Amino acid sequence: MRALLSVTDKTGIEKLAKDLRDLGVSLVSTGGTYKKIKDSGVDVSEIEEITNFPEILEGRVKTLSPYVHGGILYKRDEASHVSTVEELGIKAIDIVVVNLYEFQKALDKGNPEEIIENIDIGGPSMVRSAAKNHKDVLIVTDPSDYDELIERLKNDDIDLAYRQRLAMKAFSLTAFYDSVIARYFTKLTGEESKYKTYGFEKETDLRYGENPGQEASLYNDPFVTGLMEDIEVIHGKEMSYNNYNDLNPALELAQELGDNAVVALKHQSPCGVAVGSDVYDSYIKAFECDSQSIFGGILAVNGVVDEKAASKMHEIFLEIIAAKDFTKEALEILTKKKNLRLVKVDFANESVREEIRYLNGKVLIQGKDFGKDEVNIVTDKKPSEEEIKDLLFAQKVVKYVKSNAIVVAKGMKTLGCGAGQQSRVWALESIKDHFKDRDFEGAVLGSDAFFPFSDTVELAHEMGISSIIQPGGSIRDEDSIDKCNEYGMSMVFSKSRHFKH
């Protein structure tokens, strides 16, 4: 039996080589892997002894040879294949241990020449050849599989199911690898082919999904350095599916609102948002918006949580506090709750540029909603400068509220978020009914889409709201404009719809 070993990730390769030799397996290797094994004192042959040809073109060509691929691909139970390799002097390769050039690391460094040189050709070719002929050849691509390979070889326990499992992992690796390369060239050219490729690498299994009866796992997209890429859980329970799912929009909104923004979120929709003079001020204002819904929710803080802010946050039950950082004093307070998840976030990372939704057999892909809201005054009365600031604030928040959505705000803090209603006016009614004693006088209203009727304006006037921002575009826009003029309210068209379903 003979094994070909050629790896970039050399974790455990010396031990594997020794274990294989102890089992009587002859070894062939290439380049740095050969040197590593040879230096460890294990007898190994160089690839040139098989190919009868030296490595050329700075190592670009070393295993692309019929003496390699013939030895891997020939069918051991096919007489014509056996006679062909015997006639040509091709020797069998029964075990292939290969992993690939570190394209992703080169991509992160950003050097174009280094990126291209780290597109592996020989490695994927050997992996695919061995995986195709898995019935006769063992293909091992993951160092974590070395121990099992040795144990099975010792116990003569190499069945077809095991071979197929290794082949599955091998083809998954090459597909993943090619997907990252394809996305690099897509980004480089700014063009799209008819094939859309994504490669995700599993990070961990989660306890369950949205509900205990659903399985779930967390995967990483190595091509994207997004807001969730570098999060660091520094304290608390293991993150759940719902934790990750809720944290993402909270971080995106906090990033969009800028320094000192605090976003309280529950079940995928903001329940309290504010931008104050500091993190403490922002938190108090966000908490005051909806002190009930924030219970058991999460906080995203675009700033550093200090002792003063931590003391207030510590007073209620929260699932997560995610922030740029925490002072030593803040950590001393917050870590008293052993289950509270504390997460550090790099808000300098970009938000992803597209969203993916998997349906039953179909996939929807759309660009992220980065629509810029304009200020087009359409009423006789003009909003004040302070109202314009609040209008734009409300419109940023409403992008993250489930549709149909309404956000009422004043002084750069939300006074109410109406989410997920079948009728737009119902979203505003839910704010009015839930906060019966709240003073909405002089507040502004942001809507994620146009008003098909003037009923929302009428209710807003009844509540004391003074200014409205909405996309416009309804055939009945004039009805709403006329109502605003009748009530002495101002209205702004943003020209950007922000549905979030």
Closest CA to 409 of 288, 303, 311, 324: 288
Is the Cβ–Cβ distance between 419 and 405 less than 8 Å? yes
Which token pair is 217? 């796992």
Closest CA to 343 of 207, 236, 248: 236
The catalytic residues are 132, 267
Question: Is the preceding omega at residue 404 within 30 degrees of 0, hence cis?
Answer: yes
Closest CA to 178 of 242, 250, 123, 252: 123
| Cα maximum dimension of the chain | 97
Sort residue 187 into left (φ over 0), alpha (ψ -120 to 50) or beta. alpha
Burial class (CB in 10 A: 0-12, 13-18, 19+), 442: middle
Q: How many CA atoms lie within 13 A of 58 on its CB side?
A: 3
The CB-based long-range contact list for 16-20 (8 Å cut-off, 24+ gap) reads 16/97, 16/146, 16/149, 16/150, 17/42, 17/44, 18/42, 19/146, 19/150, 20/95, 20/150, 20/153
Give, to the nearest 10 degrees, the angle between helix 146-154 and helix 13-22: 10
What sign for the dihedral angle of Cα 33, 34, 39, 44? positive
Closest CA to 229 of 210, 250, 203: 203
Closest CA to 232 of 330, 320, 352, 353: 320
Closest CA to 44 of 61, 54, 31, 57: 31
Fill in the amino acid letter for 206.
Answer: L
Distances (CA, A) of 310 to 48, 279, 300, 307, 326: 65, 10, 13, 5, 9
